[in-house]
Amino acid sequence: MNIKILTPEYVVFEGEVDSVLLPGKNGEFHIMKNHAGIVSSLVGGKVKLYANSINESFAKNFTKENEKDSVFSYPIKSGVIEFNNDKGIILCE
């Protein structure tokens, strides 16, 4: 599935991932391939991308959670996600 993470200043990430874990108002939620369409607000926390690797040009924006798993995290203050047809856009600050 394709995910884009955008801030007002720059593109944080754009590429293919296996899934994404997001900090929602009522707790964390996980979006995987073929997930139903969703629009949701996000609260402060970490956006976690589950992917084998991420493009080097975006890697500087992320912290690798651990060496064993392919989980890359990016801290946000707030935001919104729109996900439909295996494509998601996360607007955040």
CA 36 to chain CA centroid, Å, is: 16
The 3-state DSSP class for residue 25 equals coil
14-64 pLDDT tens trace:
999 999 999 999 999 999 999 999 999 999 999 999 998 899 999 999 999
The encoded tokens of residue 23 equal 């900090």
The answer to whether 11 touches 90, Cβ cutoff 8 Å, is: no
9-20 pLDDT tens trace:
999 999 999 999
What length is written for the chain?
Answer: 93
